[in-house]
Amino acid sequence: MTTEGHIAALERRHQELDRQIQAEMQSTRFDDLAVAALKRKKLEVKDEIFRFNATQ
């Protein structure tokens, strides 16, 4: 996979995590731990995107 392709995949994953966070927060059975885990994963993906962009 090219660097651009990898970054695009990471951006899609970041967006998907954002959708999952929003869905969880709107759920009637809101789970703080699940939201926190999703937010941590989203931040990890964002950091990886930043690292790839910084090396280009």
Is pLDDT of 19 > 90? yes
Q: Whole-model pTM?
A: 0.86
pLDDT band at 56; cut points 50, 70, 90: confident
Question: Into how many domains does the chain fold?
Answer: 1
- Residues spanned by the domain of 38: 3-54
Alpha-carbon span 48 to 21, nearest angstrom = 19
Residues 20 and 38 sit within 8 Å (Cβ to Cβ): yes
Is pLDDT of 48 > 90? yes
Structure-model confidence comparison of residues 13 and 1, the more confident one: 13
